Amino acid sequence: MNQNNSLNSQVLRGYLFAIAATALWSGNFILARGLSDSIPPISLAYYRWVVAIVFLLPFCIKPLLSQMDLIKKNILMLSLISLLGVTVFNTFIYFAGQTTSAINLSLIAITFPVFILIFSRIFLKEKISSNKSFGVIFVLIGVVLLISKGDINVLLNISFVEGDVWMFAAAIVFAIYSMLLKYKPKGLNVWAFQFSSFVLGLIFLTPFYIWEITTTTAVVQMNDDLILGILYVGIFASLFAYVLWNQSIHFIGAPKAGMIYYTIPIFSGALAYLFLDEDITMNHLYSVILIFTGIILANKEFKKKRSS
């Protein structure tokens, strides 16, 4: 009985952590577009990870030092995880925000969980059940309804540009990253893992940052909005969101956590309502119902297995 309660508690925490991480990341997508005229993409990514490392250091210095041998032993896997999840993923998003629209960013961003299901089937031989298939369909319909506002012409008139390619690449990279988290070193403290991955990711990013500031003519002029934006992506969209996401995958796995990622348009809509004074309509409510129906349906089989 106690074992079942413990499993249920882990599953609940896994879903709550995934929801919290997704909510924080939704703000990152808005800032990727909003700050595109104020700072080059690699510089934004670089400052983001510098801020994240500075704020994370007090929490992880002790576990980091105590587990340095384990980190050195698994440096290759940690380097690969860091390269994909830290160096490449968010930098691609910031490149995408330079040239593509908010609608396109939202549409392409939610393809990442689909890539997880496909890659899990190809490389991990995990079955895609009918529940997951129908769940994905419900979620996609809900997201398309939300983005298109019920007007098919919005979707028909979408044109794809260079930024869309960057965003597709980012979605694929994040899917692979999320799957690799399953193989992170066992016994490695979450704070030590997160800090080491941030530092490694920043090291890999540094040559590209130097290249950007020496070859581009863009001058970064710090102002209150830019500073607050960098602090947000560095602390909330990096430190907190990554720790929550990694713990979520630890508890419920990448495919289940990936389904929660579909709620990004819901959180983005809420942020637009709070900060941009955009209205919440019945169309938004219908979309929420469809998205959550799909998420519940896709995870129904998982719950049955747990209860049995």
The two structure tokens encoding residue 284: 């938004």
Q: Residue 307: what pLDDT? A: 44
Average pLDDT for 155-160: 67
- Report residue 43's pLDDT band, with 50, 70 and 90 as the boundaries: very high
Distance CA 263, CA 260 (A): 6
Q: Are the CB atoms for 228 and 35 separated by under 8 Å?
A: no
- Say whether pLDDT at 276 is over 60: no
Distance CA 142, CA 148 (A): 10
Average pLDDT for 138-149: 72
- Say whether pLDDT at 305 is over 80: no
Domain boundaries along the sequence of the chain:
2-307
CA distances from 181 to 62, 90, 167, 242, 250 (A): 22, 17, 21, 11, 8
Q: Residue 232: what pLDDT? A: 92
Q: Are the CB atoms for 95 and 163 separated by under 8 Å?
A: yes
Q: Residue 308: what pLDDT? A: 42
Choose from 26-40, 41-55, 108-122 the range with maximum mean pLDDT.
41-55
Q: Are the CB atoms for 291 and 139 separated by under 8 Å?
A: yes
Q: Are the CB atoms for 303 and 144 separated by under 8 Å?
A: no
Q: Identify the burial level of 206 via C-beta atoms within 10 angstroms of its C-beta, where 0-12 means exposed, 13-18 middle and 19 or more buried.
A: middle
- Say whether pLDDT at 6 is over 70: no
Percent of the chain predicted with pLDDT > 70: 83
CA distances from 158 to 32, 101, 103, 150, 263 (A): 20, 9, 9, 14, 22
Cβ neighbours of residue 4 under 8 Å, at least 6 residues apart?
Answer: none
Average pLDDT for 54-74: 90
pTM comes to 0.76
273 CB neighbour count, 10 Å cutoff: 13
For helices 102-109 and 2-34, angle between their N-to-C axes, nearest 10 degrees:
150
Average pLDDT for 28-50: 86
Distance CA 206, CA 209 (A): 5
